[in-house]
């Protein structure tokens, strides 16, 4: 008897027409509308979301971040090696935690270049589809 094993090496996700947002799972919690941002050099979550997810207190960070309006802010902390799932596929990544009052947040979580590189994300802008290589 011949056994056949299939390896799934890509995951294709249809994203929102207005913004590149996806759904992310952390533990048993589902976070809707997580923004994908190829211009962000870090992955970000708000302090409120960190608390809602029941994550431990983040480690202090020795640096400041320059945000979109070019102002500098001090992060609340950093959470390393956080396991997240996207469409059932696990990823381990690092998040910078920001105070809720530091910026006007439209999103509670943002996946930037660190995750985009790890997941080998490519984007088909014409069809609003992202592909992650595993």
Looking at residue 92, its pLDDT comes to 95
- Domain count across the chain: 1
Q: Is residue 101 part of a domain?
A: yes
Which residues contact residue 51 at a Cβ distance below 8 angstroms, ignoring those fewer than 6 apart? none
The CATH number of residue 27's host domain is: 2.40.70.10
Q: Where is 115: in which H helix or E strand?
A: helix 113-118
Tokens 């930037």 sit on residue: 112
In-domain check, residue 2: no
Whole-prediction pTM: 0.84
In a domain, residue 3? The reply is no
Look at residue 75 and tell me if it is in a domain.
yes
For every one of its 134 residues, what pLDDT tens digit does the chain have, with 9 covering 90 and above? Answer: 333 333 345 667 666 666 688 899 999 999 998 988 888 999 999 999 999 999 999 999 988 988 878 888 899 999 999 999 998 889 999 999 998 776 666 789 999 999 999 999 888 878 878 888 76
Give the per-residue pLDDT at 76: 94
CA distance 75 to 96: 7
Assign 3-state DSSP to the chain and report helix, strand, coil percentages, each to 5.
10, 45, 50
What DSSP line would sit under 15-52, residue for residue? --SSS-EEEEEETTEEEEEEEE-TT-SS-EEEHHHHHH
């Amino acid at each position: 008897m011949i056994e056949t094993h299939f390896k799934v090496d890509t995951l294709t996700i249809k994203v929102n027409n207005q913004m590149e947002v996806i759904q992310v799972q952390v533990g048993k919690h589902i976070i809707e509308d997580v923004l994908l941002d190829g211009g962000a050099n870090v992955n970000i979550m708000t302090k409120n979301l960190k608390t809602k997810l029941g994550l431990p207190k983040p480690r202090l960070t020795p640096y400041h971040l320059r945000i979109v309006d070019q102002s500098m802010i001090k992060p609340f902390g950093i959470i390393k090696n956080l396991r997240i799932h996207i469409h059932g596929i696990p990823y381990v990544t690092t998040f910078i935690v920001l105070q809720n009052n530091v910026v006007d947040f439209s999103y509670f979580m943002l996946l930037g270049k660190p995750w985009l590189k790890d997941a080998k994300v490519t984007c088909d802008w014409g069809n609003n589809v992202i592909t992650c290589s595993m």
